[in-house]
Each structure stands twice: as C-alpha cells, then as structure tokens.
Amino acid sequence: MDFNDTAEEAAYREKVRAWIAENTKEYEGQGAAKTNEEFVARQKSWQKKKYDAGYAGITWPKKFGGQGKGPMESIIFSQEEGKSAAPTGLYAIGLGMCIPTVFTHGSQEVVDRFVPVALEGEEIWCQLFSEPAAGSDLAGIRTKAEKDGDEWVINGQKVWTTNAHLCDYGIIVTRTDPSAPKHKGLTMFIVDMHSEGVEARPLKQMSGGSDFNEVFFDDVRVPDAWRLGDEGQGWQVALTTLMNERLAVGGKPRYSPDWRALLNLAKEIETVLGPASEQADVREEIAKAYINDHGVKLTQQRALSALSQGKTPGPEQSISKVVVAKQMQEISRIALDLSESQGFVKAEPGSELDRFQSSYFGAAGLRIAGGTDEILRNIIAERVLGLPGDLRPPKDTPFNELKPV
Amino acid sequence: MDFNDTAEEAAYREKVRAWIAENTKEYEGQGAAKTNEEFVARQKSWQKKKYDAGYAGITWPKKFGGQGKGPMESIIFSQEEGKSAAPTGLYAIGLGMCIPTVFTHGSQEVVDRFVPVALEGEEIWCQLFSEPAAGSDLAGIRTKAEKDGDEWVINGQKVWTTNAHLCDYGIIVTRTDPSAPKHKGLTMFIVDMHSEGVEARPLKQMSGGSDFNEVFFDDVRVPDAWRLGDEGQGWQVALTTLMNERLAVGGKPRYSPDWRALLNLAKEIETVLGPASEQADVREEIAKAYINDHGVKLTQQRALSALSQGKTPGPEQSISKVVVAKQMQEISRIALDLSESQGFVKAEPGSELDRFQSSYFGAAGLRIAGGTDEILRNIIAERVLGLPGDLRPPKDTPFNELKPV
Amino acid sequence: MNFDFSDDARTLQDQARRVFDETAGPDAARAVMNDPDKHYDEAIWKQAVELGLTAIRVPEEHGGVGLGAEEACLIAEEIGRGLVPAPLISTMLFTEALLIAGSAEQQAKWLPGVADGSVIGCFGWGEGASQLPSSMPDTRMAKGGLTGTKSPVADAPIANAAVVSYAGEDGPALALVDLSRDDARVTVVETLDLVRPHGTIELKGVEAEPLGTSADYQDFLDRAAVLLSFEALGTQDAAMRMAVDYAKERVAFGQRIGRYQGVKHNAADMYVKGELARAHAMHGAWAFQAGSPELRQAAAAARTASLDAVTYTAEENVQMHGGIGYTWESNCQFYYRRARAISAMLGSRGFWSDRLVRSLENRNAEAA
Amino acid sequence: MNFDFSDDARTLQDQARRVFDETAGPDAARAVMNDPDKHYDEAIWKQAVELGLTAIRVPEEHGGVGLGAEEACLIAEEIGRGLVPAPLISTMLFTEALLIAGSAEQQAKWLPGVADGSVIGCFGWGEGASQLPSSMPDTRMAKGGLTGTKSPVADAPIANAAVVSYAGEDGPALALVDLSRDDARVTVVETLDLVRPHGTIELKGVEAEPLGTSADYQDFLDRAAVLLSFEALGTQDAAMRMAVDYAKERVAFGQRIGRYQGVKHNAADMYVKGELARAHAMHGAWAFQAGSPELRQAAAAARTASLDAVTYTAEENVQMHGGIGYTWESNCQFYYRRARAISAMLGSRGFWSDRLVRSLENRNAEAA
C-alpha cells in the first residue's frame, strides 16, 4: 500500500507538470470569458495544444489517435491540469463519452471522419439521451427516427443536454420501432447540431443558472451511414456510453464546500459559548463532512488503483454520488442555519457564504442528475449485493402497447 | 380547544379514582408475582372486581355485558388505573381484540357461552395469527383446518402469541381452502387452548425475555359451531380484530425511557466542558426525544378527541409506532454511548441505565412487532396519502399454485 | 378534553383557503417574482382585508373582531399553504407585539389601521451573521431615538411601521418605529426567497417608542413561533401534496413512481414529520390561547418540529419530481426557498431546539 | 500509487478466513455463550496460534514473523467477520502497546509468549461511566505499585497480562501488569456481549511497570483504533451478508423481500456506510504502516465511520429479518451485541468524532 507515485508515475507527473506550466501561461489571470465565442475559443486553443503535444486521448487506443496509456497517466494529467490555469470542461462529455461510443460502434468511415477532428478539439460534441418522460428510465424515450431512403428523419425532444448550444455534433438515442419491446426498438445516431430542424433552448434551473438545454428535433435528417450500431441495437450502444459516464461522474462539484469550509465558517461565528466550531453539534457535522467527502475521495483512489492494475472497478463507484450530493445539501443547509438571518441574505458573489448558498441549490440538482439517489441505491443493491430487481410489468410487451400501472 | 376534562369527564374521573383507590389497596406494596399462578390469580381478582362494579367493557355495547360508554370514559378509567397498584395487562388482547371479534362474528350461542365469562375474567384469551412464514403478510398463513363431520381438524404452527401458555381460549386464522386465492381460502375459529394437540412453547427473544410463545397444533379438533364468520370469510373477520389492534397499540412501552431520562442521565455525566446535558449534541437529542415522544402523545390525544366526538380517527394513528420504536432505539443507544464503557456493563436491575439497556434490545423488537417500520410507512403512504400499492403478483392465483418471484 | 380547533375557527379557515385557492398559490407567487416592480399582490391583500383576516386579532374597540389564537393560527396555516404574496404574516406578528406589549395609546394609534388594511406592519430581529433572537441586539435606544440596522426584515420595503428588537435594560426588548418618517431608511435586500420582499431598516437616532419589557419580548417570541409554525405547516402540506400528486402520475419503468417504496416511504416520512409538528403546533395554539405556562416549551417544540418538517418536505419534493423539479418552471423552487424564509424569520432550528431543552430543564427542575 | 493491500497480505487473510469459516462464526460464538464455564474456544485459539496469527506483529528476534500493519489489519477484519470467540484482538492490542512503548526487556519478556500462544494479553482503559480514553485515569502509580480499578476489560478473565492506562505525569499513559500475580485481582463482569468475556482488574499497589510516555499512549490509541476498525468492518460485512442473504430468500406478499426498495435501499445504505468506513480504515492502515503523521486523523475517521457502519448494520440486520431476527435462536443478536462490545473497547463514537475534528483543526492550522 503506497499513496505516493511510483518512480514512473513521478517521472510522468514531472514531465506533464513542466509542459502544462509552460503552455498555460497565456491563460493566467484571464477572468471568466465574457462571451460564448471567447469561452469556446479558449477551450479550443487548449485542446489543440494538448493534441499537438500528445496529451489528448491519453487512454484511447493508438489506432484512434490516442496515446494508449493507462488510467493513472490520465489521472495524473488531469490532476496537474486542474491545478493550472488551463481552460477545461467543454470536451468532457464529447471526448469522455460520445467519441468512445463513436469509435466503438461507428463504421470505419465514420470513425475516420469524426474521431481525429474531435480529438483535436475542432468539433464539439454533446449527448442527447434524456427526455421529459424518460429520465431514470432511459429506455422509455420517445424521440422517433423513421427511415426515408438512405436517411433517417428525427422528431422529438431531448432535455438536460449539456452545452447543446455550443456543440457541432451529438449522439442521439431514438425509437425506430415502436412495435418492438421497449429495449429493442431503439437505434443510435450521430446528428449534426447545425442541421435544419434542430433547436437548442437554454433550460433555466431552480438555482437560476442555465447549464443545460432542451433540444427540439423537427424533421431533422441524418444519413444512415451515421448510425451507431445496428438498427434496434440502440440500448446496447447507449450502455457503452453510460459505462463511460459512470467512470466520469461521481465526484464532488469543484465549487462545493467541504469540511474545511464549514470549519472556517464556524470558527468565525461567535456564540455565547465561544466559537461555533467548539460546539459538539457543529463538530459532529464537520466530522461527518470529512468522513463522507474524504471517504469518497479515498474510495475513488481505491477504484483508480484497481483500474491501474488492470482490474475493473465495480459499481462500488456508485456510492460516490449518493454520498456526495446529500452531504452537499446537508452541509450547506447547516452552514446557512449557522449563519442565521445572514445566511438567508443573498451573499457576495465568490464569498464563502455564496458557495454554501449555491451549493444548497446545486445539491438539489446533483441528487437527481445522472441517476437519482433512489436509482443509485437500487444499482448498489442489485449489482453489488445481488438483490433481485423491482417487480416490473412484462418486458416483452411492444412499446406502443405499454400501459403504465 | 381545551386540554382539561369537561364537567362530566371530571365527575367520572372523580368517581373512578375513588373506587380504584378503595379497591386496589390490597395490591399495594406487592412485589412482582413469583409464579404464573400468582400472576394470573391477581389479574383475575382485579378483573372480577371491575366486572362486579361495572367497569369492565366500558365501551362495549350493553347487550354484550358492556357499559355502552364512550372512549373518553374508557381512557379516563385506564389513566386512573395506570396510576394505581392495579395488576393489569393479562386481558388486554382478549378483551381488546379477541372478544370484540367473537361478539361481532360469532353465533348467538357462542356469544352467550364465551363473552360474559371472558368479561368477568374467568377465561383468558389469546390471538393466534402470525406464523413463521406469514408475519407482515398475514394472508399468507398455512395452518390448515379440514372439515371432519361437525368438527374441524387443525394442523400447523403459530408464533408470537402473547401469553399463550396462560390462556384458555384463542381465536385462530386457518386456511380451509388452499385452492382458493390467498385471501379467500381463510376461516377463523375459536380454539380451546387446553385441547389435546395444542402445545405452547415459550419463545425466547434476543433480549433474553420470553413474552411470547410458539403454538403447535397437531390434529386439534374444534366444533363447527365455534367458527367465526362464514367459511372462506376469515380475512374479513381478521380485519375486525386488526382494526381493534390498531386502536390498542402504538404507544410507548411503559418501561421505555423518555427525554427526561436522557436529561437526567446526561446531567450526571461530567465532561471536560461540564455536564453532558449542556453539550449541544446531547441537547439536540433531548429535543428530538421530546418532539417525537410528546408529539406522539399529542397525536393520540387528537385521535381521542376525534373518537369522542364520534369521528373515526384515521390511519394517522399509524405514525405512532413508526416514530416511537425508532426513537426508543436511538435514545437508548445514545444513552449507552454517553455512559461509555459503563453503558456496556450489565446494569443494576431497575436502574436508569438498565432501562436504557433493556430498551435498546426491546426497541429492535418493537420496530417489528405489529407491523414493521416498512409496512407502517406503506400504510401511511397508501391509506392516508393515496399512493398506489406496491406492484404485486396477480391476486387471483390459487394459494397452492402461488410461486414466489 | 377537546384537542381540536373550534368549528367556528375551522369555518374561517375554510373561507380563507377557498379564497387563496383561487387567487394565491405558486402562480401568484411567480407573478410577483417575475415583476421586479411588484413587492406583493395588492389585490390579494385587499381581498384578505375584506375577508377580515388582518382584523381577526384586533380588539373590537379598535375596529377588529377580537378573535383568539386559534383563528390566527389557522389563518397563518392558509397563508403558508397559499404562499400568499402579501404581507399578512408580518402584519400578524406586528399585531401580536402590540397586543402583548403596546400601551393603550399605541394600540389605538396602530391597530385600527391594521384592521382596515391601511397599515402594513413588519417585525425585525436580525442584525447579522450568527445573531440569535435571544442575543442582545446592537440596536440601542437613547433619548427616545433608536440607532441600529435591522436586516433582513420581511416586508419592510412595503410596511408602514415596524416592531424591532433593541437592547433593553435587562435583555432584548421591542420598540415601535414609524417607517413613514423621513429618517427611517429602508432599502431592499435580496434574499434566497424571490417572492417575499425583504429590507434593511437603517436607524440613526430615529424617534421610536419602547414596547413593553424584555419579558414581553420573550412572550412575543413564543407567540410568533406558534404563528410561524402554522405558516410552516401550511407550506409543508402544500409541498407534500404537490409531491404526492406527482408520484401518483409520473411513470418510470412502466409503473407510477408512487408504487415504489423508495418514493412511498419518503412521502410517509413527510407526513409523519408534518403530523408530529402539527400536534406540537396545536399544543402551542392551545397554550397561546389559554395563556398557559406550557407555552414556552410548546412554542419551541412547534417551531423546531415545523422547521424540520417544512425543510425536509421542500427538499424531498424536488427529489421526488426528479429533473423537472429542478427547473425554474417547476413550482418546487417556491417551497424550497420559502422554507429558508420561514427559518430566517425568527432564528433557525438550533436556537429553538436549545430553547426547548432549556424550558424542559426548568419544568423538570420544578417537578423535582 | 497503490491503494490496496499487498498480495501477500491478502493471501494471509484468505487463509485466516478459510480457517475461521470452518471453525468460528455464530455457531462457535453460541457454543461459548451457552457454556457458563467456557470463556473462549481453546481449539480456535490453538489453531490461530498454529496459523501464526498471534505472531504476525512480533519481531523475528522474539520468535514472531515481524509483519506489518497491513497484515494485522486484515487479520483483525477476519476475527471480526468470524465473531471469533478467542482473545485474539485483545492480544493484538497488548502486542501493539509493547511494540510502541515496551523496552527491550519488556518485549523480550512477553512477546515470545505472545508468538507461541502461551501468553494471552488484554488492554484496559475504562474505569466507569463517562470516562473517555483521553481522560486522566484514577489509577495511579506510586513506588512501582499500581492502584486502581479497570473495568470492563475484554478477555481479562483469561489473560496472563494486561496493559492498562494510568495517570502518567503529563497525561494518561500505559502500564504493564502481570495478571498471574496473587495481588492482581480479576473478577468476571457481565456485559451486553454474552460471548467475549470481560473482567474487572482491581489493583491495590500491585507491582507494575510503566510502558512508555503519554505520547506513546496517544500513538497506541491511534493504532488500536485502526485495528478495531478492521474488526468492526469484518463484523459489519458478516451482518450485511446475513441480511442480504435473508432478503434474497424471504417471501412476503408473493415476492422476495429483497425486491422491495424499502429493503433494498436499507441494504444499499449498509453497503455505503461499510465502504466509506473501509476507505478510511485502509487509509489508517497505510498511515499506521508508513508511520505517517496522517495517522491521527485517519485512525479517528476510521473508528468513527466503522462504529457507524457496524452499529447501523447490526440494528438493520434485525429489522430486515423481521420477527425471526428478534429471537434468541437467530444469529442477529451476536452482531447486535458485538457492535456494543467493539464500541466499549476504546471509547464510543462521540469521543472519536471529536478527536477527528481536533486533528483536522490542527492540520488546517498548519496548512494556513
């Protein structure tokens, strides 16, 4: 057991740290981007640099333009990148989830057309899965694709699409055979987000922010050549994407306050008995926050160790989000309560209190996004502990004859 | 809104208080009974006195020997009885649940034979419902009754029967038609607990106590005249019994410690920061205990008010046990933790710590008895809030063709 | 024993509920939120005044109907249920302060206006981070002039007068300030609740009258806690109904989500927390009405339990709705935000659970 | 980075598990419980000694195999999983105390016996209600004689020697007592755990040797906390498996109860608590092994999280079994009782969560 880098890991870290330091100078001291164009331009320039220097697609197979390295290298790069001024985020979904699906299930032609350009950062991708009536139950989607000669015509609505308004292409799950059972009538495609009939509208959240979009499809045409996997195999293809998602998500949002933030806040709050940080109930909450937050971090390190030894980390990873989101809501509420009436007044942007206020709203969303607490508990119980699934209506009923009970 | 007795209530209270004071003198200062015989003899003598004085079956219709009074009188009597030295408890199930079922569903003959003797206290009753494979799912019972001329022959096993070893008669749910659907093949009977083939064995609990029995039936014969309700109507009859149970249970066991016990314990525990009762985390637990315990008490008073105004208290009553049992487990664990290593040493019988230790074990049972926390939450969600039932296998399958999924 | 509200009180409650069902609710709240110039819905305020809701506690001699705590509590519940975007709760608290501690002159000056709707009142205790309702405020009185800053004060931007806490001789006490005075400066302050307006009242030697003793202040806290508990219960019940209704309709994996125990048990927990809080709040209403010494503990229990119930329900209402519940368009946000507002109105959970235990200790010591 | 146990350590763990699977477990625990004359299972003790389990941490020069913390932790986990009715954990703690703080002579005197199984050791810190592992004990040393009462001490009735805490010069410290001395009086004390024997050690000027400094005592607490966390995790995992197995088979309302989300989510919560605790315990094992200054916080986090996990799981295991789980015949009671024993062994949850925050504060202050 050893928390430190091995000699090879240390050497790799040294190398990337130097390269990142050198190449992120131009981003230092830049404020937040003022326009979408500026935001995209910065991200593109950084992705291009990584691509040119051989730091894009670190774990991808070499034949798809990747570096063919292990997860540990990828993590080391991300850690160092995270400490720098590098503008990141826009490619997480495209390169983390969409393109791996494309190179796993797309034709050679499609791979040649899309993968290198995406890795270089020239084209930005989004994932079009959730629908208003199909969130947790992804296989319940209704967006239709109908064949018309060599093309497919897509009609329907997607929702919770990250950055759809900035994207060039997306991968979309559609229903191509409504008379087949639910999981068997689905097909996945690549769709050009600039096509006629595609409209992305920002979706305002409870928090006031708009990190997601609704995307409407009105007679949008895609060539059959852009199909991912066989007709009717959309569910299997989507699972590939989601498998990659599971590895990508789970951590705590960067802005979310941890035990240290609560400790610091409590130290400043004077009570009749001295600082709030000395009170047993507050200390208990600080301890809980550490146990949850740091426990999740350690659990992720366990998974990473397994990965780097060539083992597959199990759905044990699912514990991450179920712990983190609720913890974030609790710690934020506690901080607001401790701050008494001041906790209710809209805080100075960027202040500690502001982080707690944002997190109190953000957490309500995080408990839902990417699988609700309830779905994640089901996954743990069924896949890890082997408990039987919820009793459900028959699986082989044609989708268009399903009647909810 | 008025928490005080009305003039009539006050007068009734005055009257029963005086009578109880006069008539319980002989029980004062008696220790716990040393033998079963002594225990039963005391209880019988008290029940007989109540019967003779017109205080037995206070809410029962007069035609069954009751007093035909309202629930408020009954509660007032119980409150005053509870403050006295009166030996109570043995008749709670028989007169609270069994005999009301007998006089609602039994033939005139059966009513004449059993009801007055039971009310006088001469014969003691138990309720034979649960089975090893049928707890929450009562309709899943397997104890068979087969017709043989004018008699029925019972074979099977019951469990969790209170005081079976002291009882003279019981009401029993049996399966008389295994080829009918689950809820339709049941029939209820009166059974003589002294019959040949009945064996009651004490069932030792995790706590070490033995408050319940397992009861085995081996070719036990009961006359058809002792049937309660029609053949195949056992489920409906059992519901009458359970409805009475719902009114009877739900409170906190008398021995269970409340907020006051935790406060007193914490006051005696010295920490570096003064008494534990001054620490914010302990105070929070005391507050929680008060809110739960006293909240349940107040909720019961609301139900009682409704009852006494001729309204039916709803399944709102179900909140009682779901709150009380868990609260009892928590408060006990917290008290044991606060007592540190001493909380782990078997305490002096009768001490405050002993109550917490017993309650820590008792609570684990209370969370299950008379409906688990899970079943009670289902009841609240379905009957009070109107949510749909759990998805279940088809209801009309014959019992003997049911295959668990 | 009769542990239930009187039929008269229930009838009044039903009237209020019918009116608010039609005019208030999340849609009315959204309209106020969306209009930056609108601090409240004047039509609803007028309607409530016509219904006599501001007059219920005002004695007949001052133009009111002189009803008791029961009626006030049930009206507070309906205001909470309807997220009513009008300064009714604030005015109720203002009224109670005058009833407990106001002199005959003070009552005669302000209460008729409350009853006829021409006076909007508000109440302010907060002064900054970590202050509790029992802390000695920084706001001081000297030579009839009050100096200090009270913030956030609900409805201050639209109120004619304020009752505020200040440093009395032997503890915090109440003072009455006419907000129409030129030197009483009220500025709008943005809070997490986007519907109910809040303000900062800045006082620099502003003429103000003391309102009773510091004991009166403590009694006022108890009454305010009971009223706010009923508001919280109304809000909690509305959020729970919203969640339950959705769970009956939303389908996932072929069945209505309300069939899943994961959802069902969550709904049951909402109900259990709500009923426990309701029992304590009713106890508080009785003690308030009867002038019982149990009021201190009943009020603290009601406040603690009702904050737990409304907070839990507001949070889990979003959760039960899934993604749609997290959108701006969903009404979930109103309950989520209002739960914070109710908490900020009078000291948060920790203060009240501690006050509860203190009063239990006193009771225990007396019993011993 | 490699955040996993070595293959060698895992192999040793597998061996121990195989042996305990056959010989220990609830049945063996029940046999000891049912026999009033039996304090432990001597056959299992012998087998464990033969397997080298008492020798793993003993240096080779004293007849042991001189392995590290990783191995000790994994063995502790198996002891917990098997509810092993033999004084292995006590002897492990005794060994660690000697390793941290024992002089060359003390080690030479006792460790060979530990390695060959002829010495059973125990550790006692408790003295009465409300005392914490960090409190100054009443037990005092004067002129080489120790006076005081330590109780309850796990395995004291069968131990040859004890390490106990006493009032050192600048805080609690450890002392070593030979229990075979006539004047060291050990009486059996009944506890909530009916399997593991506990005793009261009464000392009236009994000759005893100081064992290191009070700093050593604090380090010892950390190591003991890590070892006991692994014991707790083993016990927790066994209880969880028992619950899950039952949920897969028990049928109610026509389906296996494991299908209900009410049951399923409860099982998931057991797992989540267990995994969080495991991550912290592994962090503790690493810090123990590496001699890292992070040990203080890692040990406290491991202890707090593992007590939460084992307590929750032991309680909910009964609940998931329903009525049958509450019977004497069910094995649920062993886990329910053992969770209390593990807690009593070294100060309960509150002490450790406070110690965790104290160490986080120190770390935070250093970072600033």
Question: Which residue of D253, D256, D259, D261 is the best one to mutate when testing the C interface, meaning the one whose CB has the most C CBs within 10 A?
Answer: D261
C173 beta partners? C166
Give D303-361 pLDDT, tens digit per residue. Answer: 999 999 999 999 999 999 999 999 999 999 999 999 999 999 999 999 999 999 999 99
Average pLDDT for residues C29-39, to the nearest whole number?
A: 96
Q: Which fold has domain D122-212?
A: Butyryl-CoA Dehydrogenase, subunit A; domain 2 (2.40.110)
Residues of A in contact with D276 (CB under 8 A): 291-292, 295-296, 299, 319, 323
Question: Which residue of B375, B383, B387 is the best one to mutate when testing the C interface, meaning the one whose CB has the most C CBs within 10 A?
Answer: B387
| DSSP assignment of C291-342 | T-TTHHHHHHHHHHHHHHHHHHHHHHHHHHHGGGGGBSSSTHHHHHHHHHHH
Annotate chain A with three-state secondary structure: CECCCCHHHHHHHHHHHHHHHHHCHHHCCCCCCCCHHHHHHHHHHHHHHHHHHCCCCCCCCHHHCCCCCCHHHHHHHHHHHHHCCCCCCCCHHHHHHHHHHHHHHCCHHHHHHHHHHHHHCCCCEEEECCECCECCCHHHCCCEEEEECCEEEEEEEEEEEECHHHCCEEEEEEECCCCCEHHHCEEEEEEECCCCCEEEEEECECCCCCCEEEEEEEEEEEEHHHEECCCCCHHHHHHHHHHHHHHHCCCCCCCCCCHHHHHHHHHHCEECCEEHHHCHHHHHHHHHHHHHHHHHHHHHHHHHHHHHCCCCCCHHHHHHHHHHHHHHHHHHHHHHHHCHHHHHECCCCCCHHHHHHHHHHHHHHHCCCCCCHHHHHHHHHHHHCCCCCCCCCCCCCEHHHCCCC
Q: Please give the single-letter amino acid code of residue A331.
A: I
Q: Where are the domains of chain B?
A: 7-88, 125-241, 250-384
CATH for the A125-241 domain, from 3.40.190.10, 2.40.110.10, 3.40.630.30, 3.30.70.3170: 2.40.110.10
Question: Which residue of D255, D265, D266, D320 is the best one to mutate when testing the C interface, meaning the one whose CB has the most C CBs within 10 A?
Answer: D265
Residues of D in contact with B369 (CB under 8 A): 323
Of A268, A344, A369, the CB nearest to C152: A344
- pLDDT of B248 > 60? The answer is no
Residues of A in contact with C324 (CB under 8 A): 132
A337 vs C349: CB contact, 8 Å cut-off?
yes
CA distance A84 to chain D (A): 20
A340 vs C193: CB contact, 8 Å cut-off?
no
Cα D140 to Cα A98: distance, rounded to the nearest angstrom = 69
H or E segment and range at residue C29 = helix C26-34
Give B328-353 pLDDT, tens digit per residue. Answer: 999 999 999 999 999 999 999 999 99
Give D98-151 pLDDT, tens digit per residue. Answer: 999 999 999 999 999 999 999 999 999 999 777 899 999 999 999 999 999 999
Helix or strand or coil: residue C32? helix
CA distance B266 to chain A (A): 14
pLDDT of residue A192: 98
pLDDT-derived band at B385, boundaries 50, 70, 90: very high
Residues of B in contact with A392 (CB under 8 A): 391
Q: One fold for both C7-118 and C216-367?
A: no
In this complex, the chains that touch A, judged by 3 or more CB pairs closer than 8 A, are B, C, D
CA distance D298 to chain A (A): 10
CATH code, D216-367 = 1.20.140.10
Residue range B250-384 in CATH 1.10.3720.10: no
Of C255, C318, C350, the CB nearest to A337: C350
Q: How remote is the C-alpha of C174 from its chain's centroid?
A: 18
DSSP assignment letter at C128:
S
Record the tokens describing residue B220, joined without a space. 């036990």
Radius of gyration of chain A from Cα atoms?
23
- B135 or D96, higher pLDDT: D96
pLDDT of residue B272: 73
Q: Annotated catalytic sites of A, by residue?
A: 245
Superfamily of domain C7-118, CATH level 4: Acyl-CoA dehydrogenase/oxidase, N-terminal domain (1.10.540.10)
pLDDT-derived band at D281, boundaries 50, 70, 90: very high
Record the tokens describing residue C1, joined without a space. 């024993």
DSSP assignment letter at C61:
G
pLDDT of residue A270: 85
First to last CA, chain B: 52
Helix or strand or coil: residue C110? helix
CA distance A279 to chain B (A): 6
Number of CB pairs, chain B paired with chain D, less than 8 A apart: 140
Question: Which residue of B213, B270, B344, B346 is the best one to mutate when testing the D interface, meaning the one whose CB has the most D CBs within 10 A?
Answer: B344
State which residue of chain B sits closest to C309, comparing Cα positions: B291
Centre a 10 Å sphere on the Cβ of residue D281 and count the other Cβ atoms it contains.
31
- Contact D162/D203 with Cβ under 8 angstroms? no
Residues of B in contact with C261 (CB under 8 A): 374, 377-378, 390
pLDDT of residue C141: 97
List CB contacts of A141: < 8 A, sequence separation 6 or more: A129, A131, A134, A156, A173, A174, A175, A186
Residues of C in contact with B274 (CB under 8 A): none
pLDDT of residue B318: 74
In this complex, the chains that touch B, judged by 3 or more CB pairs closer than 8 A, are A, C, D
Question: Percent of chain A at pLDDT above 70?
Answer: 98
Residues of A in contact with C251 (CB under 8 A): 133, 140, 404
pLDDT-derived band at B58, boundaries 50, 70, 90: very high
Beta strands (DSSP E) in chain C are 121-124, 140-142, 145-154, 161-168, 171-178, 184-188, 198-207, 209-211, 251-252, 255-256
Sign of CA dihedral B380, B381, B382, B383: positive
Give D150-171 pLDDT, tens digit per residue. Answer: 999 999 999 999 999 999 999 9
Of A281, A388, A391, the CB nearest to B280: A281
Centre a 10 Å sphere on the Cβ of residue B310 and count the other Cβ atoms it contains.
8
Average pLDDT for residues B131-145, to the nearest whole number?
A: 94
pLDDT-derived band at D2, boundaries 50, 70, 90: confident
A1 vs D350: CB contact, 8 Å cut-off?
no
Average pLDDT for residues C317-338, to the nearest whole number?
A: 97
In this complex, the chains that touch D, judged by 3 or more CB pairs closer than 8 A, are A, B, C
Give A24-62 pLDDT, tens digit per residue. Answer: 999 999 888 899 999 999 999 999 999 999 999 999 999
Q: Where are the domains of chain D?
A: 7-118, 122-212, 216-367
pLDDT of residue D152: 97
CA distances from A11 to A20, A189, A347, B15 (A): 14, 41, 44, 92
User: In this structure, what are the phi and psi dihedrals at residue C252, rounded to the nearest 5 degrees?
Assistant: -140, 140
- pLDDT of B250 > 70? The answer is no
D1 vs A388: CB contact, 8 Å cut-off?
no
pLDDT < 70 positions in chain A = 245-251, 314-316
- pLDDT of C305 > 90? The answer is yes
Question: Percent of chain B at pLDDT above 70?
Answer: 98
Average pLDDT for residues C87-115, to the nearest whole number?
A: 98
Average pLDDT for residues B49-57, to the nearest whole number?
A: 96
Q: Which of B245, B316, B352, B382 is catalytic?
A: B245
List CB contacts of C126: < 8 A, sequence separation 6 or more: A340, A341, A342, C150, C151, C152, C153, C344
